Chains A and B, each alone.
Chain A
Amino acid sequence: MKATWWKVLAVALLAYTLIAGLLADVPRLPILNETVRALYFHVSMWFSMVIMLTVGVVYSIKYLRNGRLEDDDMALEFTNGAILFGVIGIATGSLWAKFTWGAYWTNDPKLNAAAIGLLMYFAYLILRNSLTDIFQRAKISAVYSIFAYAAFIPLIFILPRLTDSLHPGNGGNPGFNAYDMDSQLRMVFYPAVIGWALLGTWVSTLRVRYRRLARKMEEKMINQ
């Protein structure tokens, strides 16, 4: 029971995000208008995704160093959680784009980077499933996950900055030079990121515990 405070915090932060995110005042920005609220539900998805992927990679490195399957469970489930956030991020972004840009998908570097990132991690899941030996699977997927992470970070942080983009946050479009975040937005945005990341951690740790229990049961069955 000692480890529940952060779960309470997650629920509180998310409740705050929902209420303040939908009801609080937001600055009037041209074109964006009320849709700037997507910041709390869409942009925070990507932040949580990157945070969870980083946790996954740290556990992958840990696995390579000491070969404990517990670390592999953490790496897998955090990556799974990150993929879930990525899919939600794409879906929310797509809805938002429909209302602001008029299309669900545009050829924009940020969108492409997000899609490529998801392709990478879907490939990671397929790679895992194609291996049967559990130690082999843990080791090889840890190697791929580190490799993919090393390729993914430049993809999302460097490439979009090389080209102009319609996406808020960069590009030369004056009406879209938004997210020069004022304090009003920040008040909700940072708690939202922390809240979503904690929720993701909660989901992932639950799945890790399930996984460990399942392994224990299996071992019991074999040893009977």
Chain B
Amino acid sequence: MLDEIIALIRKEATLEWRQKYALNGILLYVVSAVYITYLSIGVKGGTVQVPTWNALYWIIILFSAVNAVAKSFIQENQGRQLYYYMIASPEAIIISKIVYNTGLTLLLSLLGYIVFSVVLGNPVQDQPMFMLNLVLSAVGFSACLTMVSSIAGKAGNNGTLMAILSFPILIPMLLLAIQISKNAIDGLDRGVSLDKIVTLLAINGIVGATSYLLFPFLWKS
């Protein structure tokens, strides 16, 4: 099982590396989105308010993550899916996709963070906390979005469906992530965010477990 998962993750990475346009496209998407935000709020050398910074950052990450993960079941054509169906177990497939998408989402968040810091300034006072929050929300986002993209993939793969199915499910995670990130930016005592981090972990656990249990039913159809 573990070998299978590792092999599948390696396969995802190799495929991505061969078709660099998808990866580069999504990276450029993040940079452009940040830049558009920067120009739209028209900061003339000044800084934005912390809550605005926070909200804009997370909205950009949310949209980039939806776009990045949406392709995970679109990229592959019917024939190739049938091939995986024969050689790999559905559990291994969903876990490998979630792990791979977590990496991708994390990469996007980090890139977004760097570009944000460069153009809009970096108000974050508690860096380790902010990073921990990024990792946790990347796991949650990718678990939820991978599952939703496999559902949307069965229903003809349109982008609207992907968005309307995933947004309501992502909102609790997004709200928690925004609150934790706000605390980290203000450099509050870590005890303040502790219960929120635990809740975020719990939601990640629930979403991950349901994806793991439900994916085999989708895969069979």
Contact = CB atoms under 8 A, between A and B. Distances in A.
A147 B196 CA distance: 22
Interface string B173-214: 001100000000000000000011001001100110011001
Contacts of B165: 123, 127, 144
Dominant secondary structure at the A interface = helix
B217 A159 contact: no
Interface residues of B, number: 31
Contact of B161 (A117, A120, A126, A158): A126
Nearest to A142: B217
A213 to B, nearest CB: 27
B178 to A, nearest CB: 12
B203 A143 contact: no
A162 B196 contact: yes
A163 to B, nearest CB: 9
Given A64-B217, A127-B161, A131-B155, A154 B206 contact: yes
A148 B217 contact: no
Nearest to A128: B155
Given A120-B168, A127-B165, A151 B207 contact: yes
Interface residues of A, number: 28
A35 interface: no
27 contacts: A64-B217, A116-B171, A122-B164, A127-B161, A130-B156, A136-B221, A139-B217, A139-B218, A140-B151, A140-B154, A143-B218, A144-B151, A144-B165, A146-B210, A147-B151, A147-B169, A147-B214, A150-B206, A151-B172, A151-B203, A151-B206, A154-B172, A154-B199, A154-B203, A154-B206, A159-B199, A162-B199
Interface of A: 64, 116-117, 119-120, 122-123, 126-127, 130-131, 135-136, 139-140, 142-144, 146-148, 150-151, 154-155, 158-159, 162
